[in-house]
Structure 1
Amino acid sequence: MVEYKDRLVQAMTAAEMKTADLADRLGLSYQAIKKVVDGNTKALTAENSARAAQLLNVSSDWLALGEGTMSRSNMVMPYSDLSPAPIPGRPTIAVPVLSNSASMGSGAELLEHDVLTGDLKLSQEWVTQRVKPSHVQALRFIHAYGDSMKGTFNDGDILLVDTGIRLVDIDGVYVLCAHDRLFVKRVRQRWDGQFEISSDNPSIKTSDLLDGREQLDVRGRVLWAWNGQKL
């Protein structure tokens, strides 16, 4: 008889997802998943099993009960139809909303330990397939104020930030901390290797180069502006 652990391993192998990766995506410890894979725990909880099936792109009934076929290809929502809004009956992710804002703020660790004002629930399928964060626990919502990024997002827009990104790994829009303030700026790497910080608003002619002397910390990369623009 094929046990739950065998189906889970089969699904993970097909999805080329390691134990640590699945644990991270589910917000569980590595040991929690390993105990299931090793057969020391009978199965994931019903909720986590459904979320795992979604992440591994297999049928939730097949994973949980061994019923039907492994494939859920006929149930996959087309990429273009994915929406951040929670889908009834499908897993969601609650993302904390911080009282902090950029380009205003105060001091270190703002995005990790700032006061929370609640959370917004997002479709897990949308988060994992569309914005693809470093890990879902690192996601935060902040408000942006000012007009330096006008055209990309506007004064008062809510920004979805991946606080797990602490280095400029690709060109994009980042939350930066400098001089005890938070800024949201576009960062590009030039051909000479230097990083250029700029604003998207063409009427604001600000551009700075980082040469290693600045006291500047990357606090996250903006993944989505809540006006429907992926960044």
Structure 2
Amino acid sequence: MTIGDRIKQARTDGPAGKVSRKDLAAVVGIAYSTLADIENGYQENTTALHRIARRLGVRVEWLETGRGAMEAPPNQSVGYDDGSTSQGVARFETDEGYVRFPLLEGFAGMGRGDYVGDYPEVVTSLRVSRDWVERKFPGVPPEVIRVMTGRGDSMKGQFNDGDLIFIDTRVKDFDQDSAYCFRWEGRVLVKRLQFVGRNTLRILSKNPDYPAIDAPLSEIEIGGRALAAWTLQEF
């Protein structure tokens, strides 16, 4: 059995009860597609393994190697050190007046695209004031927002290389011409999508050096709408 096989076993028939792939991905802060790749054997490693073990109530060593007992000792918390519970609800509130956004594992490609799992996780969460969230994202519940790091220059001027991109994960289907975070041909991208008819979407870049690409709607897996970017400017 692989690590992915054991994660799937623990998720569907483990100590914490049945946990959907969607809920597990959301709680531990990785993309649904990343978890799917791990379980299906397309990606062998993840820096989220300890968080997965905590959520599922299993021993990390068992997940990694298959050795020993599956279930974690009774005195080991199934939840998170930050107060999250074992019921699949991530704790987004931190100190009063602040919100914590999980940073999704990996990077969103803004060039030719980055294959899922090419990059390690470097930040686990971003903590900002609730007032700032309500001003910047009116009407968007904080618990549906995730953050990814953009890589590449194809969206330069809208999203720049190294930006933290805020994503509304409620949006799973194309509903208007807009910038989306999506998976296509094994790559995770942040680009603008435009409907061009006959169940076809046009993948558009801001940078004119990158030509538009038409792709069947059925081949594009949308993970959310890109809302805004947080730019780190070097001096």
TM-score normalised according to structure 1 size: 0.49
Higher helix share goes to which structure? 1
TM-score normalised according to structure 2 size: 0.48
